[in-house]
C-alpha cells in the first residue's frame, strides 16, 4: 500500500496538520503517513485530543490506523468508504471539542447518511476556536457553501476539568457537492454581537467582562449587543470568557486566575476591532478553517484576510499534498491578502 507522506513538523507543526491530513485522506480515500508529529512542541507526538479525533475519523471510514497512542510521532491512516455514525465521544478533561469537529465535519459531509455526535470535552479552552465561533461565525459561512449542520451547546467546559457537552448533527452534502464562496466585499457595518459567560463564578464577572468590551467598542464608534450568561453547575468546570462577532469576524478571550474581568472584555474588543478596521472579509481564524472547504469545491472561491498566519500556511501545505488544487495568494492590496482558489476545469 502506498502512502502520501506528510511532515508533521511543517509550519506551525501542531494538530492542524493531523486534522487536515486525516480529513482529506478520508474524503479522497488516499492513505497518509504523518511523521514527526508535533516534533518541536514541549510534549511531542499525539495528545488525547488528537487520539479521539483520529479514532472518530476511523469510525466514520472503517480506516486502518497504525501508531494510535499517546505520544506517537508517526501515524498511518488508511480509510475506506465514509458512512454516517451516531456516536458519543468523550475527549477527556478539557480537550477541545471544536478542534475535533474541525477534522470530523468535512468527512461527515461526504458520508452516505447523517452523522450525530454527542461530544464531551472543552468548549472554551486556550489555543482553539470557542464553541460560539463555530455556532455564530463558522457555520453561517459554510452554510453558504451548502453545508447543513446544527450545533447545540448543552454545557460549557473549561480547562482543566472540561466536562462541556455539545450535540452535533451533520447532514451529507447534496450530490456530494460544495458550492464555491466569493467573499470579496466587506459586509455592511452592523452592531457587534457578543456573549459574556461564566460557570461557577459570581455574576459580576460576566457583567464586568461585557461592560469593558462595550466601552472599548463604543470608544471606537461601534454599537454592540452583548448577552450575559451565568451558570452554576457544581459538577461542572469553573471559568469565564467572552466572544464577540460581526458577520465573519470575531474576537474573544478567556478568564484566568489573577486576570481581571475587565482585561478579558477589553482584550476581546481589541481583537475584533483589529479585524473590523481592516478591509478583510473574514478574520484570521476563519480563514484557515475555510481552506479545506474552498479546496474541495469545483467552483471559484475567494476570501480576503488581513495577514497570512502559520496555521493558514500549514493548512495550504497539507491540502496541496493531497489535492491537485492551487491557491493564488495576492498581497497587492494595502491591508489585505486575497486568497483565490480557481474553479476546476
Catalytically annotated residues: 311
Task: Find out whether 319 and 292 touch, Cβ atoms under 8 Å.
Answer: yes
Angle, in degrees to the nearest 10, between helices 48-61 and 15-28: 0
Strand partners, 223: none
Supply φ then ψ for residue 3, to 5 degrees.
-120, 140
Strand partners, 258: none
State the residue for C-alpha cell 492551487: 326
Measured CA to CA, the distance from residue 99 to residue 15 in angstroms comes to 8
Q: Which of 328, 330, 324 is nearest to 344 (CA)?
A: 324
Measured CA to CA, the distance from residue 338 to residue 183 in angstroms comes to 10
Question: What sign for the dihedral angle of Cα 131, 133, 135, 141?
Answer: negative
For strand 337-341 and strand 327-330, is the pairing parallel, antiparallel, or unpaired? antiparallel
For residue 301, what is the enclosing H or E element? Answer: strand 301-305
Q: Which of 306, 299, 310 is nearest to 331 (CA)?
A: 306
Whole-Å CA distances, 269 to 250, 255, 265: 9, 14, 6
Task: Find out whether 156 and 240 touch, Cβ atoms under 8 Å.
Answer: no
Supply φ then ψ for residue 198, to 5 degrees.
-155, 160
Measured CA to CA, the distance from residue 34 to residue 75 in angstroms comes to 5
Amino acid at each position: 500500500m502506498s502512502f502520501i507522506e506528510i511532515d508533521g513538523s511543517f509550519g506551525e507543526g501542531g494538530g492542524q496538520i493531523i486534522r487536515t491530513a486525516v480529513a482529506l485522506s478520508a474524503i479522497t480515500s488516499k492513505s497518509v503517513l504523518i511523521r514527526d508529529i508535533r516534533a518541536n512542541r514541549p510534549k511531542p507526538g499525539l495528545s488525547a485530543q488528537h487520539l479521539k479525533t483520529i479514532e472518530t475519523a476511523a469510525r466514520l471510514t472503517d480506516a486502518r490506523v497504525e501508531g494510535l497512542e499517546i505520544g506517537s510521532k508517526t501515524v498511518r491512516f488508511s480509510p475506506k468508504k465514509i458512512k454516517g455514525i451516531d456516536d458519543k465521544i468523550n475527549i477527556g478533561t478539557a480537550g477541545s471539542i471544536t478542534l475535533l469537529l474541525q477534522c470530523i465535519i468535512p468527512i461527515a459531509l461526504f458520508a452516505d447518511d447523517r452523522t450525530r455526535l454527542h461530544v464531551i470535552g472543552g468548549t472554551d479552552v486556550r489555543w482553539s476556536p470557542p464553541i460560539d465561533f463555530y455556532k455564530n461565525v463558522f457555520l453561517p459561512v459554510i452554510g453558504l457553501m451548502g453545508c447543513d449542520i446544527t450545533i447545540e451547546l448543552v454545557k460549557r467546559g473549561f480547562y482543566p476539568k472540561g466536562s462541556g457537552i455539545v450535540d452535533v448533527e451533520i447532514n451529507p452534502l447534496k450530490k456530494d457537492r460544495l458550492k464555491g464562496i466569493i467573499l470579496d466585499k466587506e459586509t455592511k457595518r452592523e452592531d457587534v454581537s457578543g456573549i459574556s459567560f461564566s460557570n461557577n463564578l459570581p455574576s459580576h464577572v460576566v457583567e464586568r467582562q461585557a461592560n469593558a468590551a462595550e466601552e472599548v467598542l463604543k470608544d471606537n464608534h461601534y454599537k454592540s449587543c452583548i448577552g450575559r450568561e451565568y451558570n452554576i453547575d457544581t459538577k461542572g468546570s469553573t471559568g469565564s470568557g467572552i466572544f464577540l462577532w460581526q458577520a465573519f469576524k470575531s474576537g474573544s478571550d478567556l478568564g484566568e486566575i489573577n486576570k481581571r474581568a475587565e482585561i478579558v472584555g477589553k482584550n476581546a474588543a481589541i481583537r475584533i476591532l483589529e479585524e473590523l478596521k481592516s478591509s478583510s472579509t473574514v478574520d484570521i481564524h476563519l480563514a484557515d478553517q475555510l481552506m479545506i472547504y474552498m479546496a474541495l469545491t469545483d467552483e471559484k472561491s475567494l476570501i480576503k484576510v488581513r495577514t497570512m498566519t502559520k496555521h493558514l500556511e500549514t493548512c495550504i501545505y497539507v491540502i496541496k499534498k493531497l489535492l491537485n488544487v492551487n491557491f493564488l495568494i495576492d498581497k497587492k492590496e494595502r491591508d489585505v491578502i486575497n486568497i483565490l482558489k480557481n474553479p476546476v476545469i
